[in-house]
Structure 1
Amino acid sequence: MFDFDMLGLAPALNDALKSANFSQPTPIQNQAIPLALNGHDILGLAQTGTGKTLAFGLPLIDHLLNQPGKPAPKTAKALILAPTRELVNQIADSLRVLTGKTKLRVATVVGGQSINKQIAFLGRGTDILVATPGRLIDLMERKAVDLGSVRHLVLDEADQMLDLGFIHALRKIAPALGTPRQTMLFSATMPKQMEEISRAYLTNPQRVQVSPPGKAADKITQSVHFVTKPEKPGKLREILSQDTDALTLVFSRTKHGAEKLMKGLVADGYNAASIHGNKSQGQRDRAIKAFRAGEINVLVATDVAARGIDIPGVAYVINYDLPEVPDNYVHRIGRTARAGREGEAIAFCSAEEVDLLRQIQRLMKIDIPVASGTQPEPVEAARSGRRQNNRRFKPRPPNGSAKPAHNKRRRPRRKPAA
């Protein structure tokens, strides 16, 4: 293990790290930063909350500080792609802490905000552009940004971008980038398609992995409560009442469900807010800011926030509904136990979700400890069994001679007499 000041970073970066109370790198930073400083392409695998932003941010900024000259209008020297607005803003905020005493400019482009303001800002050029793929393509089609000067590309949380159709966007964006360039890809999981992206867009990458894909942070305590659907609201309130001051993040599967759950909690006196796809970007930003400041202590969210919340003080993550994609469970619970802290992840599982739980446990290669209840028979399996038992089997006609009723030949209509 080394200290940040042993890396030979630019003095401005060392000063920024000390001001932000960063002294020793995390394992992913420990492995990735020296390789990236030497110009290697990086394929980084680590669960959320392990410090991936600094792992690519520090070498990226160091390289840019050694490249004199201002960016030309509409251009960028480095591009960082991330799947959600929240994550884009989070990355940009972290980078601005590091570039505060330099002349480097950091710009963000995301959907849900004024595209005209983004066009105006990009018109002056920027050193680092952090973007969601969809809005970036909009700006490219409007000729508002020229990516030909980009010599550093970072793909953050690339596995989630795959889920959102990112591969199609990358095929449009990559040809517009400058060459040669350094590319760094970071992901919490490693689906097969990620290997294909690595081969297509990275050149002799150095693979950095600090934990097996699908593994949660070591300091997260996990548990599952087997409950029926109608029992979930009561169980949630029971758990929230045990530590009323703790910051708790509650995940719902749907936007409607998240809003309904939040309103019910507020009606019962809980200090709660919600973020989901039906909220404007301003509403989402305000909710996260209030949650970060402790002005609200229960935030109900859909998976739109699973990778966009970097709040070290989150004590509990409650999966009110289990996610339909097992990888999302890992990203959800990664919102707690961040930056070396401890945290607790609690899951509710109804009969309809038993199969989802099994998929999650298979991915993580663990059995999540049962806190209460008994695992029910999966609903779908029970229904399938009933259908099998009640099905009436008719003897099959010999040689398949029988034909479905809708295939029977019909008599042609008689033409009316003249």
Structure 2
Amino acid sequence: MLSKKLGYKQPTPIQQQCIPPALEGKDIIGLAPTGSGKTAAFAIPILQKLWDAPQGLFACVLSPTHELAHQIATQFEALGAGMGVRCAVIVSGDMDRVAQAVVLAKRPHILIATPGRIADHLRNTKGFSLHALKFLVLDEADRLLDLDFGTHLDDVLKAVPKQRTTYLFSATMTTKVSKLQRASLTSPVCIETSSSHHTVPTLLQYSVLYPLIHKEALLVYLVNSLLSNSMIVFVRTVHDAQRISIILRTLSFNVVPLHGDLTRSQRMGALAKFRSGDTKILVATDVASRGLDIPLVDLVINFDVPGHSKDYIHRVGRTARAGRAGKAIMMVTQYDVELLQRLECLLEKKLEEWPTDKEDVLAMHPTVDEAGRVAANELREAGKQQKSRKRKRQAGETDDQGIEEVSLLRGARRH
């Protein structure tokens, strides 16, 4: 009943292989691509053990990002709805430390946190500890280490009991991850569902080669011709995400950007619009390519060739999730051919060519070029406004300092 409600028809490979040894009490290392169902692979055994012996602060899941932490909490709450599981998300930006300390004092069953914030509470929140913790989960461990959470992870590992069960999940087994597993796990069962350089078989992968001068016109052509699909357009920089979003919006496409310069509430708003189907086009930097739960993405367009194969794997992992079919199209210019060949070598797969009508692509140039000018003007104006606000803030600080100095002088004269 619950599995049907949550959309589960059958266990994914990582769930099939992880859950039995986890229920036996073994430490687990799970190496699996994004979209493989790993959250349920660790949540189900934890909830089963919690059912057998309920207690507060039973498990702590460490996540690299705020968004992923909230998604993990949502899955725990859905899977544990029938047993009244209490979850708490402890990340920066959601609420202040005092409010979080109140939440922690209530001893939720499952704690989902970013390493920096939980380490902060371990140091500074009176009465809070993890000395009775039964389970520790290191999710997206490769990214936890990429984001320099190493010191905070050390603090957490020192604070948790040695007699505990630990699960480590990662898309790749890097040298750093290997060191972390040696420091945190005891005789673990290692489960790898696929090579870190391989994509899922239900993903159809294509490339399309055009000169750089036609790149934006080609993108508009692809978006327009594939408009019935929900799609993520991945770009390399925040500037590209802003520019491409404005170009598409100017051409009457319903599009939302997602990048690291947005506030957390803006990012969550963009994701909500995309998830609900209000918009079918998300233009994103790699901030969106790891961990985020974005269901039913039909198509990924790579506006540029990622410099590393693992970035490509994570990007295209947004589609063809949990056994569903999906497509990925790589846009390649004359300057990217060597990068593409290197990627194909690592994937052990040659990407098929995506068919295009060259005349139709070229015919879009005048319209796309005009939209590009609109985007340039908007970004230039936004830059001016940002500088103006910065100057005003600095001037305000200077005025405040001047008033303070005058007050001090007057006070000195009175004395």
- Displacement of 1:110 in angstroms is 2.2
Aligned runs of 1:93-242 on 2, under 5 Å?
Answer: 93-116=74-97, 117-143=99-125, 145-242=128-225
- Displacement of 1:372 in angstroms is 6.4
Question: What does the per-residue CA deviation read over 1:202-249, in whole Å, with 9 as the maximum and x for residues that have no partner?
Answer: 111111122112211111111112234332211111111112132101
Conserved? CA contact 1:247–1:313, under 8 Å: yes
Residue type of the alignment partner of 1:210: T
Aligned runs of 1:302-321 on 2, under 5 Å?
Answer: 302-321=285-304
Aligned runs of 1:16-415 on 2, under 5 Å?
Answer: 16-69=2-55, 71=56, 76-116=57-97, 117-143=99-125, 145-371=128-354
Conserved? CA contact 2:30–2:168, under 8 Å: yes
**Residue aligned with 2:133, SS:** coil
Conserved? CA contact 2:131–2:160, under 8 Å: yes
Q: How many Å separate the matches in 2 of 1:240 and 1:281?
A: 27
Cα 1:84/1:322, change in 2 over 3 Å? farther
- Displacement of 1:17 in angstroms is 2.5
Conserved? CA contact 2:31–2:173, under 8 Å: yes
Q: Give unpaired runs (5+ residues) of structure 1.
A: 1-14, 374-418
- Displacement of 1:141 in angstroms is 3.2
Residue type of the alignment partner of 2:257: S
Q: Work out which of the two has the higher radius of gyration on C-alpha atoms and give 1 or 2.
A: 1
**Residue aligned with 2:298, SS:** strand
Conserved? CA contact 2:296–2:319, under 8 Å: yes
- Displacement of 1:62 in angstroms is 0.8
Conserved? CA contact 2:234–2:285, under 8 Å: yes
Cα 1:325/1:207, change in 2 over 3 Å? same
How many correspondences in the alignment?
Answer: 354
Conserved? CA contact 1:86–1:305, under 8 Å: no
**Residue aligned with 1:314, SS:** coil
Question: What does the per-residue CA deviation read over 1:130-160, in whole Å, with 9 as the maximum and x for residues that have no partner?
Answer: 1222222333333264222222111111122
1:376 maps to none
Q: How many Å separate the matches in 2 of 1:351 and 1:141?
A: 53
- Displacement of 1:16 in angstroms is 2.8
Question: What does the per-residue CA deviation read over 1:158-177, in whole Å, with 9 as the maximum and x for residues that have no partner?
Answer: 12222212333322221111
**Residue aligned with 2:205, SS:** strand
Q: Which moved more, 1:225-234 or 1:22-31?
A: 225-234
Conserved? CA contact 2:196–2:310, under 8 Å: no
Conserved? CA contact 1:226–1:372, under 8 Å: no
Conserved? CA contact 1:53–1:94, under 8 Å: yes
Q: How many Å separate the matches in 2 of 1:208 and 1:126?
A: 30
Cα 1:140/1:361, change in 2 over 3 Å? farther
Cα 1:154/1:101, change in 2 over 3 Å? same
Cα 1:41/1:353, change in 2 over 3 Å? same
Q: How many Å separate the matches in 1 of 2:63 and 2:231?
A: 25
Q: Give unpaired runs (5+ residues) of structure 2.
A: 357-415
Residue type of the alignment partner of 1:31: Q
Cα 1:169/1:344, change in 2 over 3 Å? same
Question: What does the per-residue CA deviation read over 1:33-88, in whole Å, with 9 as the maximum and x for residues that have no partner?
Answer: 0000000011111111111111111001111111134x2xxxx2211112222211
Residue type of the alignment partner of 2:209: F
Percent identity between matched residues is 38
**Residue aligned with 1:345, SS:** strand
2:381 maps to none
Residue type of the alignment partner of 1:133: P
Q: How many Å separate the matches in 2 of 1:351 and 1:87?
A: 37
Whichever structure has more helix as a proportion of its residues is: 2
Residue type of the alignment partner of 1:64: L
**Residue aligned with 1:340, SS:** coil
1:400 maps to none
Cα 1:356/1:115, change in 2 over 3 Å? farther
Cα 1:271/1:143, change in 2 over 3 Å? same
Conserved? CA contact 2:34–2:291, under 8 Å: no
TM-score scaled to structure 2, two decimals?
0.80
Q: How many Å separate the matches in 2 of 1:95 and 1:336?
A: 23
TM-score scaled to structure 1, two decimals?
0.80
Cα 1:352/1:132, change in 2 over 3 Å? farther
